[in-house]
Amino acid sequence: MITAGIDCGSKNTKVVILDDNNILSTSLVLSGFDQEESAQQALNNALEKIGITREDVKHITVTGAGMDAIFFADDNITTVTSDGKGTFFLFPSTRTVIDIGAEEGLVVKLDENGKVKDFGINEKCAAGAGAFIEAMSRALEVNIEAMGELSLKSTKKIPMNAQCTIFAESEVVSLIHQKTPKEDIIRAVHDAIADRNTSMVRQIGIEKDVALIGGMAKNIGFIDAMNRNLGFDLLVPKDKIAPEYISALGAALIAQEKIGG
């Protein structure tokens, strides 16, 4: 039974197409200003990849910040639910899910059956989310994909005082003027955002195993900083499916359940 999950993130819209628990295809497009259009686009891309049509998809469940704008979906579920579902499917030992996206961070606690026990959201401040890394990559004139790798090359820990993305931009500029090596600045940037998110996780309570998903989970520098902060390694989706698709995966799984799959 083919189902689709659409995650309407504030930056990117992700789609996962499932057939009886097998991941058939995924796709990602920029969310832009017309959320519904991007969702259509993402879905069509994913369908084209495996040569099937809309009619082949039996149920579409949507999730994410922009989900209310998607009228062609069959139903919607909260990101908290989809995060928990998708992560537990991949890693059944997960009891804590950390999802850091472009504009917000989410922590979800699961019980041994994968059911949501508790959750917390860190939102509305860019300094706690991917928007922070993006802004810093612009200030440093570094490709955002290279940020994580460069942070691991740092040899010195330097303090970062600014807690706001806007002020951090100015701080980075003055650090560059002082000839501070970019790698050290980038490391400080990653440590800062990891510190903020670790504090929020500690507020909800840490229970192993802890998984990291969302766009930021692609950043090896961030993963490293989080591992250091928590004192153990986080589970990060890698081989089967990329971390930014987990919420969409969760939605597709829920879609399956809805039609009795």
Partner 1 sequence: MSNAESEKEYWRWTESRFTNPDLNWEDADIISAGVDVGSVSTQAVIMLDGEIYCYSSMRTGSNSPDSAKNAMDWALEGTGLTLDKIQYVVGTGYGRVNVPFAKRAITEIACHARGANFIYGPEIRTVLDMGGQDCKAIRCDNRGKVTAFLMNDKCAAGTGRGMEVFADLLQVHINDVGKMSLDVDEEPEPVSSTCVVFAKSEAVGLLRKGWPKEKVLAAYCSAMAHRVVTLLLRLGIEEKFAITGGIAKNIGVVKRIEDELKFKAPEPSIDPQIAGAIGAALFAKALVEKERKKA
Partner 2 sequence: MTKANYGYKDGSGEYFITIDTDLCNSCGKCVEACPEGVLEMAEDELDPLSDEIIAIVSEKHRKKIKYSCAPCKGGETKELPCVKACEFGALSHSW
Binning the chain into helix, strand and coil, the percentages to the nearest 5 are 45, 20, 30
Q: Candidates 20-28, 37-45, 198-206, 229-237 — which segment interacts with partner 2 by CB under 8 A?
A: 198-206
The H or E element containing residue 140 is helix 130-140
Contacted by 196, from partner 2, partner 1, none: CB < 5 to 8 Å by type: partner 2
Give yes or no for residue 166 binding partner 2 (CB under 8 A): no
User: If you ran DSSP here, which 8-state letter would residue 94 be given?
Assistant: -
Is 145 one of the binding residues for partner 2 (CB under 8 A)? no
Q: Is 170 in the site for partner 2 (CB under 8 A)?
A: no
Q: How far is CA 45 from CA 82, 129, 145, 241, in A?
A: 22, 27, 23, 17
Amino acid letter, residue 164: C
Smallest distance from partner 1 to CB 230, Å: 25
How far apart, in whole angstroms, are the C-alpha atoms of residue 214 and residue 14?
11
Binding site for partner 1 (CB under 8 A): 33, 103, 124-126, 131, 135, 163-167, 170, 174, 177
Residue type for 252, please?
A
Q: Which does 33 bind (CB under 5 to 8 A by kind): partner 1, partner 2, none?
A: partner 1
| Interaction between residue 163 and partner 2 (CB under 8 A) | yes
Over its C-alpha atoms, the chain yields an Rg (Å, rounded) of 19
Question: Total number of residues binding partner 2 (CB under 8 A)?
Answer: 20
The SS3 call for residue 38 is helix
Residue from 56, 112, 145, 195 in contact with partner 2 (CB under 8 A): 195
Specify the residue for token string 């939102």. Answer: 123
Site for partner 2 in 93-132 (CB under 8 A): 120, 122-128
Binding site for partner 2 (CB under 8 A): 120, 122-128, 161-164, 195-196, 199-200, 202-205
